[in-house]
Amino acid sequence: MSTVTTTKPAPTAPGPAPVDGRPGEGRIGLRANLRHIGALVRRNALQIKQDPESMFDVLFMPIIFTLLFVFVFGGAISGKGQQEAYVNYVVPGLMAMMGMNIAMGVGTGVNDDFKKGVMDRFRSMPIARSSVLIAKIVVELGRMMVAIAILLTVGFMLGLSIKTSVFDLLLSIGLSAVFGASLMWIFILLGLTMKTAQAVQGMAMLVLMPLQFGSSIFAPPSTMPGWLQSFTDYNPLSNLADAARGLINGGAVAHPVTVTLIWSVAITAVTMPLAVRKFRQKT
């Protein structure tokens, strides 16, 4: 009579701990996370290279807006023939506007990537979920810097003068970038929440229009009715525009810079975790 011997299979080593509820993904270290962000930034930059039309808004929006507002509103606000004085007022304000308009494109881009299945591919890879969104923001900040460079070039051609220093000018650009990055988290969250890119654009315009025109970007608040002046006092775009003007033209900057930084930190602290969570859960 023969006996059958059975052997227990050798125990297998436990796999890496799941991340975001997905098996097979270990905890992502800082170095690996930065490497993933760099690779995704390169991927997004190559997309722009393959689709140069996506840069049209960055290249032409600063030129069109500057010429329109200087020559349409400049004479009415600063006096006929005094458009040059208005240039020094409106160009720092337009720096704030550039960040908000470019931030809107991040939301539509994220929404479109989900429709194409690109984001599903990223979520199946062992990478940090936040790295996908951070890479988007890095590339859009690069586009924003191009738009601001063109804006300042057109401004200098129309008579913009720096009454402080180049360092202060760079500080105003950096402040605009910090605030613009915080706004991008809002629009990423919108892109992950709304069903279509058209819906993201529609919702964005409802937010953009009151904030942009109910601010000190285009006209001094002193010319506005009292209730609107109260709104502009709390409008973060007004504080950013005032901070940029102070840094470029000279004047008090401590209060508007502080308020702008507080807004930037608060917006990022609230919307970034919500956007990352929504990105993990979106189907």
Q: Is residue 201 part of a domain?
A: yes
Domain presence at residue 18? no
Asked, for residue 36, whether it belongs to a domain, the answer is yes
| Full domain range(s) for residue 188 | 30-281
Q: What is the pLDDT of residue 81?
A: 63
96 vs 117, 144, 211, 217, 279, CA distance in Å? 33, 10, 11, 8, 27
Domain contains 40: yes
Domain membership of residue 24 (yes or no) is: no
Q: What is the pTM of this model?
A: 0.82
122-149 confidence digits (pLDDT tens) = 777 777 777 888 888 999 999 999 999 9
Higher pLDDT, 21 or 35: 35
Instruction: Kindly write down the DSSP assignment for every residue of 102-170, as one continuous string.
Output: HHHHHHHHHHHHHHHTHHHHHHTSSS-HHHHHHHHHHHHHHHHHHHHHHHHHHHHHTT---SS-HHHHH
**Residue 222 banded pLDDT, cuts 50, 70, 90:** confident
Assess if residue 200 is contained within a domain. Answer: yes
Please say if the pLDDT value at position 151 is more than 60: yes
- Domains: count for the chain: 1
Q: Of 20-29, 60-69, 177-186, which range is least confident? A: 20-29
State the average pLDDT over residues 214-241: 89
Write out pLDDT tens, residues 54-98. Answer: 788 888 989 998 998 888 877 777 666 667 778 999 999 898 888
Q: Is 22 helix (H, G, I), strand (E, B) or coil?
A: strand
Is pLDDT of 2 > 60? no
In a domain, 266, yes or no: yes
If you average pLDDT over residues 224-238, what whole number do you get? Answer: 89
What value does the mean pLDDT of the chain take? 82
User: Is 11 domain-assigned?
Assistant: no
pLDDT-based confidence at 206, cuts 50/70/90? confident
